[in-house]
Structure 1
């Protein structure tokens, strides 16, 4: 699965330059924070951060490094959701959501063994996904998507409850990041 269409969707949704006072991430362009851009060698003004560099960062940090490309082989829509969740919340959070959902859906470890919720996509997570899909069929991807989105929605609500400044973003998170 080519992640470029997913990256293009994120960039379109995130827009150009932003520096919202309630956003702890600080200045962003194309959805890439200044800290992430700097950690990858960009030294210029964030208002001029090149789109091509954002694409490269998204591919490397939010698709390949967390292993969502490995998920895409078996469940492309799930991989797309994990990518988007990873962009918004961090890839380890997205990977953890998948692992938690797989453990909760394995019928008391009778379909496949529980996996550690280590927030990394490794061989055990991929094997659990394969076993889940083999047991539940292609419709299983829909159920996993719902489970991941439920966990994502709960996290958004918790973020808004724990930091009132996040309420400025809650409506957009729920409207644009779920389903």
Structure 2
């Protein structure tokens, strides 16, 4: 898989135009909210948002800007998860989940130093990921993925508990974003 395929998968999963009354994001198309579309120069009707415009926004905001291509050099699986989580929850949240998981899995700093959970991808986070992967390999990658997805699932449930209108989305979030 490569980034165009990853973006296509997200666009298919997100679907076309939606303006669900319970969605605080308002009108969306291809999973891009009206606010994000406007902030990225799209001024037209959301129903008419071109798929290619959505794909460009996904690449720029949710892959290139947070630096997930650098993660992909060490683990495509983790980079793909961060991308998908970032699309749905924000890249700072996704990166923070990676940092928290790496801290929890470093055996009390025996494998690599704890990270400051600043929710920004930098050299220390990339080094910790590389150290983790060198030590734990493919099996570790699976465990790290599970740790990130566990935090993601807990956050979805908390969002539904905090705002009952989010229950309209909980089943889909869990079905399409976890595992």
TM-score (norm 2): 0.98
Query: In structure 2, how many angstroms separate the alpha carbons of the residues matched to 1:65 and 1:75?
Result: 18
Query: In structure 1, how many angstroms separate the alpha carbons of the residues matched to 2:146 and 2:51?
Result: 31
The CA deviation at 1:165 is 0.4
- Deviating 4+ runs (over 6 angstroms): none
Secondary structure, aligned partner of 1:18: coil
Q: Give the structure 2 partner of residue 76 of structure 1.
A: 76
Q: Give the structure 2 partner of residue 92 of structure 1.
A: 92
Q: Give the structure 1 partner of residue 160 of structure 2.
A: 160
Q: Give the structure 1 partner of residue 127 of structure 2.
A: 127
How many residues are paired up? 179
Q: Give the structure 1 partner of residue 13 of structure 2.
A: 13
Query: In structure 2, how many angstroms separate the alpha carbons of the residues matched to 1:138 and 1:171?
Result: 29
CA RMSD for the aligned pairs?
Answer: 0.8
The CA deviation at 1:135 is 1.3
CA shift digits 1:24-53 (9 cap, x unpaired): 000000000000000011111000011111
The CA deviation at 1:136 is 1.1
Secondary structure, aligned partner of 1:137: helix
Superposition map of 1:113-152 within 5 A:
113-152=113-152
The CA deviation at 1:138 is 2.3
Query: In structure 2, how many angstroms separate the alpha carbons of the residues matched to 1:22 and 1:8?
Result: 26
The CA deviation at 1:137 is 1.8
CA shift digits 1:139-179 (9 cap, x unpaired): 21101100000000000000000000001100110111000
The CA deviation at 1:107 is 0.3
Query: In structure 2, how many angstroms separate the alpha carbons of the residues matched to 1:78 and 1:130?
Result: 12
Query: In structure 2, how many angstroms separate the alpha carbons of the residues matched to 1:117 and 1:99?
Result: 6
Query: In structure 2, how many angstroms separate the alpha carbons of the residues matched to 1:161 and 1:108?
Result: 33
Q: Give the structure 2 partner of residue 169 of structure 1.
A: 169
For structure 1, which runs of at least 5 residues remain unmatched after alignment?
none
